[in-house]
Chain A
Amino acid sequence: MKFSLVIHASPFSAQTSSTAYRYAKCLLDEGHQIFRIFYYGDGVLVANQQITPPQDESNLLTAWQALAEEHALDLVVCIAAAVKRGILDENEAKRYEKPNANLASGFELSGLGQLAEAIAVSDRVVTFGS
């Protein structure tokens, strides 16, 4: 079955972002397809390449990156939510004259149209709210 996930929750202050990761991994293990994962609201905070958790805590960013690489996942970060939280790709850093980009590799910035499309084409859309 074709799934898309919407993740609103901050990876730092709520468990939900990690529940979403476990769910996504299990979907793939069970042979389902993930059309897209859309990060919205504080959910976008996971796509900051500077995230440095303490050594005895798990790292959701690298976990998502590894899963995305293994399964060629489409990880889309809402551009409006990301830019206002200081998560910029090269283009946005240039556009707003910021010294550097910090969007983690494996993620891309795009608009809400990507979420609308995911809703339109997926068999199931599962929301992970904070």
Chain B
Amino acid sequence: MSAKKSILIINQSAPYGSSNGRESLDLALTCSIFEMPVSLLFVGDGLYQLINNQSPEQLQMKKHEAMLSALPMYDIDQIYVTAEDLSENGLTENDLAMPVTLIQRDVIASLIQQNDSVLTF
């Protein structure tokens, strides 16, 4: 199989309120096992997945942040956040659970162009 097709996963859902975030990360990890280059874009409500100090113990749900911490182990390091989303929410990179690449919103179009397949969650 032609395993080198690159994939961009666009995350636009907040964590906990829906299962989209978990499902997208499961897919990202799986694609990485198949040696497909994976990029993740957290945009709009998707940014909230990255906020640090999550403690979902009372919800009896799995910690989203813990799942994110698996990404580097799978060599997924193309993680994008827009500077506009951060500032519109009054957040900075210090509020995030992991290092990300900050881009301007108008770079999203070229991320979509550069990748062979784009999936949204």
Residues of chain A touching chain B, judged by Cβ–Cβ distance below 8 Å, are 6, 8, 40-41, 80-81, 111-113, 115-117, 119-121, 125, 127, 129
Contact = CB atoms under 8 A, between A and B. Distances in A.
B30 interface: yes
B20 A119 contact: no
Contacts of B26: 80, 112
Contacts of A40: 23
Contact of B119 (A113, A120, A125): A125
B52 interface: no
Interface stretch (B1-9, B43-51, B58-66, B84-92): B1-9
B63 to A, nearest CB: 18
A41 B2 CA distance: 26
B33 interface: yes
Interface string B1-31: 1110101000000000001100100110011
17 contacts: A8-B20, A41-B19, A112-B27, A115-B30, A116-B31, A116-B33, A117-B34, A119-B5, A119-B36, A119-B119, A120-B1, A120-B3, A120-B34, A120-B36, A121-B1, A121-B2, A129-B120
B114 interface: no
Interface residues of B, number: 19
Contacts of B7: 119
**Which 4 residue pairs are nearest across A and B when measured between Cβ atoms?**
A112-B30, A116-B34, A116-B31, A116-B30
A127 B120 contact: yes
A80 B23 CA distance: 10
Contacts of B34: 113, 116-117, 120
B27 A115 contact: yes
A115 B28 CA distance: 11
A57 B64 CA distance: 39
Nearest to B4: A120
B23 A127 contact: no
Contact of A41 (B20, B33, B36, B117): B20
B24 to A, nearest CB: 10
Given A6-B119, A129-B121, 13 more contacts: A41-B19, A80-B26, A112-B26, A113-B30, A113-B34, A115-B27, A117-B34, A119-B7, A119-B31, A119-B36, A120-B5, A121-B1, A129-B120
B2 A120 contact: yes
Given A41-B20, A116-B36, A125 B30 contact: no
